[in-house]
Chains A and B, each alone.
Chain A
Amino acid sequence: MVEGREGKGIVRMPVVWIPSLMRSLTGNQGQIEVDGDTLRQVVENLEVKHPGIRNRVIEDDRIRPGLAVSVNGEVTNEGLRTRIAATDEVHFVAAIGGGS
């Protein structure tokens, strides 16, 4: 029996959709369940499983320029502090207008 975020026997974790250009870091996995209450925690936990992800996503303690994060289809403006629920889908996408 596993103690999950929704009680005994149920483990629900946010699902991170890995962009195809980052899948070399995840053994070609496209979706990964990762625990975390904030985006920062999700990325840190992802880094433990798949080293190298953090540097692709974060620069100077913020989401890397040119990249955006959407949670359940809505681009977040709260950066790494974004609250993540166990049922959320997290996507890393190219920022609109980029300006890199």
Chain B
Amino acid sequence: MATETEAYLGKTDYKVIGTRPIRHDGADKVTGRAIYGADVTLSGLLHGKVLRSPHGHARIISIDTSKAAAHPGVKSVITVDDFEMPEDKIRELGEGAANLRHLRSNVLADGKTLYHGHAVAAIAAVDANTAEEALDLIEIEYEVLEAVLDTRRAMEDGAPLVDENQTTQSLGEKTDKKSNVSTHFQHKLGDSAKAFESADIIVEREFDTATVHQGYIEPHNGTAHWKSDGHVTVWCSTQGSFPVREQVSQLLMLPVSKVKVIPTEIGGGFGGKIRVYLEPLAAMLSKKTGHPVKMVMSRTEVIQATGPTAGSHIRCKMGVTKEGKLVAAEAYMAYESGGFPGGWAAPGSMCIFAPYDIENVTIDGFEVLVNKPQTMAYRAPGATNAAFASETVIDEICEKLEMDPIAFRLQNAAKEGTRRADGPVFPRIGNVETLKDAQSSDHYKSKKGKHVGRGVASGFWFNVGLKSSASASVNTDGTVSLVEGSTDIGGSRTSIAMQLAEVLGIPAESVNPSVVDTDSVGYTDVTGGSRTTFATGWAAYEAANDIKAQMSGRAAKIWEISEDDVQFDDGVFASKSDPEKKLTFKELAGKLDDTGGPIVGRAAVEPQGVGGAFATMIVDVEVDTDTGKVEILRATLSQDAGKAIHPSYVEGQMQGGVAQGIGWALNEEYFYNERGELANSSLLDYRMPTALDLPMIEARIVEVPNPGHPYGVRGVGEVPIVPPPAAVANAIYDAIGVRLQILPMSPAKVLAALWSKDGKGKA
């Protein structure tokens, strides 16, 4: 790892960094040759299916699998009883954590089903249709219980308890009271109550956001082969092969050395493909049958039983002087954690007021059990809900002050040295720069059309570092084979290879990156938290430096000079004392056989120096006041990438995040009936935006280098989803004069708000 003085090279004359080479995996993906989880096939393969609870909340009285087991095509039936009870401990998964007992009870229900679609039993059969058919032969007697589906109801005294043993923890202090609130925490900076007394304007509003799914296009899948030697191989679509190995080994009571995870290509994850669902079931069915077993979810199963991310109830209060200085802020943030504890109020609380320098802040956060699937990360988990609240309040303050919304944000912007409400002091950040970029954009300076509303919102995500490994072999033709453990969701093979290529002075195309299994590379955490280009890129940078040092030694050997006499610049090794002695990287690579054999560079890193990311969005909308439909006319995002290694992929992340944020803003929500049954578990009824719903999203990359990374990289994959719902809400207000404080802002809700304003009905 680079020392502090080596970190951030501060260069601008890069040869590879900042260019746009064609992605290494592009041809395989566009021609259909890339192997996804559903493509995996093995000799003697069986197919598994899962029986799921039809109830929102129910106690399992009995399970009779005998008829299913007797079906001639069925090879095995399993329930939770086939899994030993693991230790009551928590395992970090990179983006989130899992209590192993809860993980076991989630992959197969233990005594109670906690949400509609909760897995109860699994079958392996000769083919998928037989397995599906045999599910009907499993007889289960349920006692249906009252379901609790939102945080407000779940937090009431007397609400049905999702887990009868759950009590509330407040930073290590346990209470005895049974509650759906698993966690309460508080951040306190200064004295917000007192500071509000000095405010000339105070705005306090309440916000509700719906449960939404990450919407990855590829369903979850898992294939496992428990071999006769006791070793298990797992193929799956995941954001982290090592966290899958950890979870599977813990649930199967195996040492990690006996579990090999082979990550297939991944068709989207966004935070939802970190926890295991099918993998341990396929492994157990394989153990029982002696055959490999493959399991693939249907779309309905994906929506019913994986992800989603948290719905929330947030109360946000901010106070400002008449000169426009924010003096105090308070937030009450209750987030759904689903059927099991853990969730996203904590990261949401770290982000809600982060774009602003406010000296007096109090934030109370609550993680609340409800009868929905256990919530998972979704790009900047928790921050989008939070920004919807705070950025809408900011917009209302700007209106009352009659101030330009970007000028107000600039006046109050957090910058280097500002202390966040949760404690940390910001290092160099690009908040001001993104605001100024948005302010100077053609979009912001353009005149609005008639009936068009314009909204602005900012957002923050802190990003993470975690652990990454890489190794790289020099080939005699001057190319380098790069081996890494980060599954490639958004072009990270290329962004990581480019960082290696920059060090070695070779083209990105001369690096052949491979994402390999858990036996073939050092431990690497999830592709998540906007960490991969930052941390795995850093590992590649270090592996390249290792290669450079070894090759300098070979050059010294060839020229019979001291290694200190060898310099390396722009892909050429040369003698400092005799400039005639020169070898390009490629020429020297061709001489490895004669000078000591192969060269492999390697690195394992756990870097500090993570740089947080800010983004500001401008959006124009038109609202059909007869139907309530909101049309997005123009959208622009200014985002600080630190240094954009591959600008096309940074732009892709920005556009993807904004598109998903607009879906969250306008359309997407889980519809449960009062019994907790999900009514819209298909993509026809769970309405994600398509290309027809969106304009071209202008991605404006701002580069304020992160001083904590050799190339100045900040993560880019998460913050673009943070501003859109608030920006759209502010634009709707600008268009039709009603403030929506509920997501999604669907046509029905827009109409209801309009009618309420006009006195035609109740919102």
Give the complex CA separation of A59 and B340 in angstroms: 21
Q: Is A29 an interface residue (CB 8 A)?
A: no
Q: By the criterion CB–CB under 8 Å, are A20 and B182 in contact?
A: no
Q: What residues of A have a CB within 8 angstroms of the CB of B90 in the complex?
A: 65-66, 99-100
Q: What residues of B have a CB within 8 angstroms of the CB of A30 in the complex?
A: 188
Q: What residues of A have a CB within 8 angstroms of the CB of B173 in the complex?
A: 21-22, 56
Q: Which of A20, A57, A89, A92 has the most CB of B within 10 A?
A: A20
Q: Which one of B76-84, B119-127, B417-425, B530-538 contacts A?
A: B417-425
Q: By the criterion CB–CB under 8 Å, are B187 and A70 in contact?
A: no
Given contacts A74-B610, A77-B606, contact A98 B172 (CB under 8 A): no
Q: What residues of A have a CB within 8 angstroms of the CB of B185 in the complex?
A: 19, 21, 93-94
Given contacts A17-B423, A19-B186, A66-B183, contact A94 B346 (CB under 8 A): yes
Q: By the criterion CB–CB under 8 Å, are A93 and B422 in contact?
A: yes
Given contacts A70-B424, A73-B425, A94-B365, contact A100 B608 (CB under 8 A): no
Q: Is A64 an interface residue (CB 8 A)?
A: yes
Q: By the criterion CB–CB under 8 Å, are A89 and B342 in contact?
A: no
Give the complex CA separation of A65 and B169 in angstroms: 10
Q: Is A80 an interface residue (CB 8 A)?
A: no
Q: By the criterion CB–CB under 8 Å, are B186 and A21 in contact?
A: yes
Q: By the criterion CB–CB under 8 Å, are A100 and B424 in contact?
A: no
Q: By the criterion CB–CB under 8 Å, are A97 and B93 in contact?
A: yes
Q: By the criterion CB–CB under 8 Å, are B423 and A97 in contact?
A: no
Give the complex CA separation of A57 and B171 in angstroms: 8
Q: Is B625 an interface residue (CB 8 A)?
A: no
B718 vs chain A, min Cβ distance (A): 12
Q: By the criterion CB–CB under 8 Å, are A99 and B97 in contact?
A: yes
Q: Which of B563-613 contact A (CB under 8 A)?
A: 606, 608-610
Q: Is A96 an interface residue (CB 8 A)?
A: yes
Give the complex CA separation of A100 and B99 in angstroms: 6
Name the residue on A nearest B94 (C-beta). Answer: A97
Q: By the criterion CB–CB under 8 Å, are A99 and B99 in contact?
A: yes
Q: Is B86 an interface residue (CB 8 A)?
A: no
Q: Pick the contact of B171 from A19, A70, A75, A89 — CB < 8 Å? A: A19
Given contacts A20-B187, A56-B171, A67-B171, contact A98 B424 (CB under 8 A): no
Q: What residues of A have a CB within 8 angstroms of the CB of B344 in the complex?
A: 97
Q: What residues of A have a CB within 8 angstroms of the CB of B467 in the complex?
A: 77
Name the residue on A nearest B375 (C-beta). Answer: A97
Q: By the criterion CB–CB under 8 Å, are A100 and B342 in contact?
A: yes
A58 vs chain B, min Cβ distance (A): 9
Q: Is B290 an interface residue (CB 8 A)?
A: no
Q: Which of B352-399 contact A (CB under 8 A)?
A: 362, 365, 367, 377
Q: Pick the contact of A89 from B98, B184, B423 — CB < 8 Å? A: B423
Q: By the criterion CB–CB under 8 Å, are B423 and A91 in contact?
A: yes
Q: Is B347 an interface residue (CB 8 A)?
A: yes
Q: By the criterion CB–CB under 8 Å, are B424 and A99 in contact?
A: no
Q: Pick the contact of B343 from A65, A70, A92, A97 — CB < 8 Å? A: A97
Given contacts A30-B188, A73-B424, A77-B606, contact A100 B171 (CB under 8 A): no
Given contacts A98-B183, A98-B343, A100-B183, contact A67 B172 (CB under 8 A): yes
Q: Which of B76-134 contact A (CB under 8 A)?
A: 89-90, 93, 95-99, 102
Q: By the criterion CB–CB under 8 Å, are A22 and B424 in contact?
A: no
Q: Is A10 an interface residue (CB 8 A)?
A: no
14 contacts between A and B (CB under 8 A): A21-B170, A22-B171, A55-B172, A56-B171, A70-B423, A77-B606, A89-B425, A93-B423, A94-B171, A94-B346, A96-B347, A98-B337, A99-B342, A100-B342
Give the complex CA separation of A22 and B185 in angstroms: 10
**8 tightest A-B CB contacts, nearest first:** A97-B96, A73-B424, A56-B172, A99-B342, A99-B97, A20-B188, A91-B423, A98-B342
Q: By the criterion CB–CB under 8 Å, are A72 and B172 in contact?
A: no
B interface footprint on A37-80 (CB within 8 Å = 1, 0 otherwise): 00000000000000000011101000011110010111101000
Give the complex CA separation of A60 and B688 in angstroms: 46
Q: Is A11 an interface residue (CB 8 A)?
A: no
Q: Which of A22, A57, A66 has the most CB of B within 10 A?
A: A66
Q: Is B54 an interface residue (CB 8 A)?
A: no
Q: By the criterion CB–CB under 8 Å, are B182 and A98 in contact?
A: yes
Give the complex CA separation of A99 and B342 in angstroms: 4
Q: Is B341 an interface residue (CB 8 A)?
A: yes
Q: By the criterion CB–CB under 8 Å, are A98 and B97 in contact?
A: yes
Q: Is B427 an interface residue (CB 8 A)?
A: yes
Q: Pick the contact of B172 from A57, A73, A74 — CB < 8 Å? A: A57
Q: What residues of A have a CB within 8 angstroms of the CB of B340 in the complex?
A: 99
In addition to A22-B172, A74-B465, A91-B424, 8 A-B residue pairs with Cβ atoms within 8 Å of each other are A19-B185, A21-B184, A22-B171, A22-B173, A55-B172, A56-B172, A93-B185, A96-B96
Give the complex CA separation of A55 and B174 in angstroms: 11
Q: Which of A22, A30, A74 has the most CB of B within 10 A?
A: A74
Give the complex CA separation of A89 and B422 in angstroms: 12
Q: What residues of B have a CB within 8 angstroms of the CB of A55 in the complex?
A: 172
Q: By the criterion CB–CB under 8 Å, are A65 and B89 in contact?
A: yes
Name the residue on B nearest A93 (C-beta). Answer: B422
Give the complex CA separation of A98 and B172 in angstroms: 12
Q: What residues of B have a CB within 8 angstroms of the CB of A94 in the complex?
A: 171, 183, 185, 346, 349, 365
A85 vs chain B, min Cβ distance (A): 13
Q: By the criterion CB–CB under 8 Å, are A96 and B95 in contact?
A: yes
B373 vs chain A, min Cβ distance (A): 15
Given contacts A17-B423, A73-B424, contact A98 B186 (CB under 8 A): no
Name the residue on B nearest A60 (C-beta). Answer: B89
Q: By the criterion CB–CB under 8 Å, are B423 and A100 in contact?
A: no
Give the complex CA separation of A20 and B606 in angstroms: 30
Q: What residues of A have a CB within 8 angstroms of the CB of B187 in the complex?
A: 19-20
B598 vs chain A, min Cβ distance (A): 33
Q: What residues of B have a CB within 8 angstroms of the CB of A72 in the complex?
A: 424-425
A32 vs chain B, min Cβ distance (A): 14
A25 vs chain B, min Cβ distance (A): 9
B249 vs chain A, min Cβ distance (A): 17
Q: What residues of A have a CB within 8 angstroms of the CB of B93 in the complex?
A: 97
Name the residue on B nearest A76 (C-beta). Answer: B608
Q: By the criterion CB–CB under 8 Å, are B610 and A95 in contact?
A: no
Q: By the criterion CB–CB under 8 Å, are A97 and B188 in contact?
A: no
Q: Which of B173, B377, B467 has the most CB of A within 10 A?
A: B173
Name the residue on B nearest A54 (C-beta). Answer: B172
A60 vs chain B, min Cβ distance (A): 9
B752 vs chain A, min Cβ distance (A): 35
A96 vs chain B, min Cβ distance (A): 5
Given contacts A65-B89, A92-B171, contact A99 B425 (CB under 8 A): no
Q: What residues of A have a CB within 8 angstroms of the CB of B102 in the complex?
A: 99
Q: What residues of B have a CB within 8 angstroms of the CB of A57 in the complex?
A: 172
Q: Which of B454-505 contact A (CB under 8 A)?
A: 464-467
Give the complex CA separation of A96 and B337 in angstroms: 12
A44 vs chain B, min Cβ distance (A): 16
Q: What residues of A have a CB within 8 angstroms of the CB of B171 in the complex?
A: 19, 21-22, 56, 66-67, 92, 94
Q: By the criterion CB–CB under 8 Å, are B182 and A100 in contact?
A: yes
Q: By the criterion CB–CB under 8 Å, are A99 and B96 in contact?
A: yes
Q: By the criterion CB–CB under 8 Å, are A98 and B346 in contact?
A: yes
B715 vs chain A, min Cβ distance (A): 14
Q: By the criterion CB–CB under 8 Å, are B97 and A74 in contact?
A: no
Give the complex CA separation of A86 and B298 in angstroms: 56
Q: What residues of B have a CB within 8 angstroms of the CB of A22 in the complex?
A: 171-173
Q: By the criterion CB–CB under 8 Å, are A95 and B424 in contact?
A: no
Q: Pick the contact of B98 from A67, A77, A99 — CB < 8 Å? A: A99
Give the complex CA separation of A99 and B171 in angstroms: 13
Q: Which of B102, B425, B426, B608 has the most CB of A within 10 A?
A: B608
Q: What residues of B have a CB within 8 angstroms of the CB of A21 in the complex?
A: 170-171, 173, 184-186
B374 vs chain A, min Cβ distance (A): 9
Q: What residues of B have a CB within 8 angstroms of the CB of A17 in the complex?
A: 423
